[in-house]
Amino acid sequence: MSQSVYVRSKATGHQHQKCYLAYTNGCSTKITGEHCISHNLLNKIERLNKTIDVLGLSWLPKDQLTSVGKKSLVSNVLCSQHNSDLAPLDNEIGQLVEAIGVIDAEYLNQNAMSLKFKVDGSGVERWILKTVLGLVHSGQIRQQSGLPFGTHSKCAELLCVPHARWPTGWGLYVSTKASKVYHSSSFELLPRHNPDTGVLLALDLKFNGIQMHFLMGRPDLPSSFGTHRPGALVFRKGSVASIIELSWPRRRAGPPVRLTHAGTYAGASPDHSFAKPAQ
């Protein structure tokens, strides 16, 4: 559970110049090669899909899902201490993506059973923060001009402190707009930023085809992003309903988001043009 995930500050008194959590004075002397999109998630995508199809990194073609190798997603932006402090967050996102995949696979059966999973939503939010900071500090995502994105100073605090107070309107939204969800096993991430300051305001994310938004600012119209911190994702197929309960310790959960399974589709998400470069 993510509640136990915390970063020990001032434990070592050391600041590693390459670690983006150096300001906490809790670094080790060693920098680690870490996947800035978690290894756990990459493995699950690869197992379901055979390839890892990613959209949204600065070195990939724009608006095109592209197969990438896991090695190309390694960066050196955390020291070994902070890397191991934050490693348990990777389980939260792994559980969510796995649950979506298992439900989807079950619904391929004619007599599909209803399934139930529990995932810590707060842990997923902190995993997204870890991913944002890793991608920004490694330069995997950057502004179109080539300049790095800025991040709100609150982001690192929310990542490090499990019970930190989140500003109003920040956090995870699950889109309720999509009439159809294509469960392609891919990961999509599109940064939105303030063009004047370069500061990141939001990420549009897709996990296995489900559209979510992660906000690092207060939206003018929250409902346009979907349901804030839904208490559950409900997947219906005929009379069968499967549920992924999302827990939000010490926070009010939004209403469940309901998705209907209309059929199966083995191809790539038709939302985007799809290119697989020669391997």
Say which residues have a Cβ less than 8 Å from residue 68's Cβ, sequence separation at least 6: 52, 53, 54, 57, 60
Smallest distance from Zn ion to CB 12, Å: 9
Say which residues have a Cβ less than 8 Å from residue 257's Cβ, sequence separation at least 6: 174, 176, 226, 227, 230, 232, 233, 234
Q: Helix 121-138 and helix 89-106: axis angle, to 10°?
A: 110
User: In Å, what is the CA distance from 104 to each residue of 40, 100, 199, 264?
Assistant: 19, 6, 36, 9
Smallest distance from Zn ion to CB 79, Å: 3
Smallest distance from Zn ion to CB 217, Å: 26
- Please report, as ranges, the residues that interact with Zn ion according to CB under 5 A: 16, 19, 21, 27, 79, 82
When the beta carbons of 9 and 260 are compared against Zn ion, the nearer one is 9
When the beta carbons of 16 and 228 are compared against Zn ion, the nearer one is 16
Smallest distance from Zn ion to CB 120, Å: 24
Say which residues have a Cβ less than 8 Å from residue 203's Cβ, sequence separation at least 6: 128, 132, 189, 190, 191, 192, 213, 214
Smallest distance from Zn ion to CB 24, Å: 7
When the beta carbons of 79 and 210 are compared against Zn ion, the nearer one is 79
Tokens of 98: 């796995």
